[in-house]
Amino acid sequence: MIFAGCDLGIVSAQAALVKDEEIVALETIPYKNLPRQAAKEVMEKALKKAGLSWSQIDYCIATGHGKRAVPHADGFVHEMGCLQRAVQEINPRIRTVIDVGGHTLQAFAINEKGGISENVSLHRCVTGTGLYLEVIARALGMSLEDILEASLTSEEPLMVTSQCVVLAESEVISRVNEGNDPKDIFAGVVRFAAVRIGSMARKVPIRREVAFVGGMAKNAAIRNHLEESLKVAFAGLAGIDPQAVSAYGAALFAKEKYLSISKKEWPEP
Amino acid sequence: MITAGLDVGALTIKAVVLKDSEILGYENIPATAYAVQSSHQVMDKLLGQLNLSYEEIDYCVSTGYGRQIIPFAQANMSEISCHGKGAHFLHPLVRTIIDIGGQDYKAIRVKEDGSLEAFLMNDKCAAGTGRSLEIGAESLGVEISELGPLSLEAKEPVRLVFICSSLMAIEVKQMVLEGKNMADIAGGINDLTARRVASIVRRLPPKKEIVLTGGVAKNVGVIISLERELGARLVQLPVDPQIVGALGAAVIAKEKADVGNS
């Protein structure tokens, strides 16, 4: 039995394939054009990796902002639900999940029964997300990877004051014109992002263990700032790409959903 | 008596020269990171047209983000007071001024004599500002000046989900790729601006007459959307809506010079 999960965001798409109990593929791609094509492309990539074909997928659940545009979806589950399902599977001791992706920030608490007790999400503003760092890197005329690496060596991070990415964009340009080093500016921007993520996360009670997921969880500088300010060490994710956790949760839902439908369809004895 | 007003904004710099209570001329240029240099540039240009020199200006007041560093200004005033004064000078019945600038927007209510009664502003988020319209136009692949006229052809303006300008940019690009009607998207971008701005205007609350100033007042689509959101007609001003702040500064300069002379 093959179960698929697809998480379609606004700047990236993720796919997960689960065969019985085992993950056979986890893929993530950035995209700039059509969400529908990105969903198809990432799933094809996952199928290829697993040596499978479209027709072998028994059930697929889509999640994320663009879930309704996933062409091969049999059903939909909210992103927070998928994350909760996935972290429960990965490590049932996880009590707090912080998720920062390309354009959203959210955090939620998981109670002893495994349900979501408190949650907070910031969907209206990208400050603190991956897109935020990307826009500022572009304003500084560098790729995100290069400027991130350079900023790690900054000894004097320069704090930005604008809370909005668009206003921060012109603020950093003025800072460059004033003769400041882009690496110091970006180090300040990274710190600002971490502060924003931290203050959002504190709105749900932070209880151990804490998982940090989403594309931004791959950013070492953000992770370090956040671990320091929240005074926690983030839980491991059993080798699963933090960006693909939501797609993995969707695949787990696909399996549950398929099995429950199959049961109903069996004739009563 | 000749007075001048200078409005050093985030995206543009405006200058107005008054002779007693008559507008002699005005000028408007894009801003650079160097406010002092740009303010000289706009003033040189305007004084050149009017055949005047700096020495002939009796009093100059500056306003806007860069107002404190202008060497030829004798005083500086907040944009709020200047917009109130400028609008009242042009249209004495105006009680509410909505100013949408490059990087902020404000709702100002004035008393019958033009003095400040209440104001609200947003300078925390770019959504609803001129910059956000610029980003919308860029994503749509049109000039910002085309957004208004284009939106008049909209049959069913789209409703944009994202407020954040950088997400709106992505949403607009995706709509273009999907082949959505350009006029409908332009209408959606203007509507988003009007929704954002109307939310603070309603909190003011506004009194009639209402006027829209700032560069965005040149966008007929935003005017129509805003009129619909507020359920009221907006007064049309007889000058470039972008110079109202600078005009107010020149009016205040005249008042200050009058006090000094008496």
* Interface predicted TM-score (ipTM): 0.86
Query: Following CA atoms B113, B119, B125, B130 in sequence, which dihedral angle do they give, to the nearest 10 degrees?
Result: -10
Q: Strands A96-100 and A105-110, how do they pair? A: antiparallel
Q: Which residues of A touch B9 (CB under 8 A)?
A: none
Flag whether residue B126 sits within 8 Å of chain A, measured between CB atoms.
yes
Summarize pLDDT for A187-239 with one digit per residue, the tens.
999 999 999 999 999 999 899 999 999 999 999 999 999 999 999 999 999 99
Domains identified in chain B, total number: 2
B232 in the same domain as B108 = yes
Through-space distance between the first and last CA atoms of chain B, rounded to whole angstroms: 13
Contact A126 B166 (CB under 8 A): yes
A1-91+237-269 and A93-236 have identical folds: yes
Restricting to A residues 151-190, those with a Cβ less than 8 Å away from any Cβ of B are 163-167, 170, 173-174, 177
Interface test with B, best of A167, A177, A180 (most B CBs within 10 A): A167
B178 — contact with chain A (CB < 8 Å)? yes
A34 with B178: Cβ contact below 8 A: yes
- Give the pLDDT confidence score for residue B66 in this predicted structure: 84
Domain ranges of chain A: 1-91+237-269, 93-236
B222 and B255, same domain (yes or no): no
The structure's pTM equals 0.87
| B103 shares its domain with B6 | no
Domain identity same for B5 and B28:
yes
Residue B146 sits in the same domain as residue B201: yes
Under-70 pLDDT residues of chain B? 262
Give the closest of B135, B177, B178 to A166, CB-based.
Answer: B135
Query: Same domain, yes or no, for B33 and B107?
Result: no
Of the partner residues B126, B170, B171, the one whose CB lies closest to the CB of residue A164? B126
In chain A, which residue's Cα lies nearest the Cα of B32? A174
Query: For position A265, what pLDDT does the model report?
Result: 63
CATH number of the domain located at residue range(s) A93-236 in this protein: 3.30.420.40
Quick one: closest CA in A to B132, which residue? Answer: A166
Same domain, yes or no: B167 and B224:
yes
What pLDDT does A267 receive?
56
The CATH number for B26's domain is 3.30.420.40
Same-domain pairing of B52 and B148: no
Q: Does residue B73 share a domain with residue B41?
A: yes
- Say if residue B86 is in the same domain as residue B103: no
3-state secondary structure chain B: CEEEEEEECCCEEEEEEEECCEEEEEEEEECCCCHHHHHHHHHHHHHHHHCCCHHHCCEEEEEECCHHHCCCCCEECCHHHHHHHHHHHHCCCCCEEEEECCCCEEEEEECCCCCEEEEEEECCCCCCCHHHHHHHHHHHCCCHHHHHHHHCCCCCCCCCCCCCHHHHHHHHHHHHHCCCCHHHHHHHHHHHHHHHHHHHHHHCCCCCCEEEECHHHHCHHHHHHHHHHHCCCEECCCCCHHHHHHHHHHHHHHHHHHHHHC
Q: B164 and B42 in one domain? A: no
Q: Please provide the CATH number assigned to the domain covering A1-91+237-269.
A: 3.30.420.40
Can you give the pLDDT of all 269 residues of chain A as single tens digits? 999 999 999 889 999 999 988 999 999 999 988 899 999 999 999 999 999 999 999 999 999 999 999 999 999 999 999 999 999 999 999 999 999 998 889 999 999 898 999 999 988 899 999 999 999 999 999 998 889 888 989 999 998 999 999 999 989 988 998 899 999 999 999 999 999 999 999 999 899 999 999 999 999 999 999 999 999 999 999 999 999 999 999 999 999 999 888 766 655 55
Answer whether B93 touches A (CB < 8 Å): no
- Interface subset of B 24-83, CB within 8 angstroms of A: 33-34
Range of the domain at B67: 1-91+242-262
Q: What is the pLDDT of residue B102?
A: 87
Report CA torsion sign: A184, A185, A187, A192: positive
Contacting A residues, span 82-101, partner chain B, CB-CB under 8 Å: none
Closest among B249, B216, B217 to B235, alpha carbons compared: B217
Which pLDDT score, from 0 to 100, does residue B198 have? 97
Is A173 in Cβ contact with B132 (below 8 Å)?
Answer: no
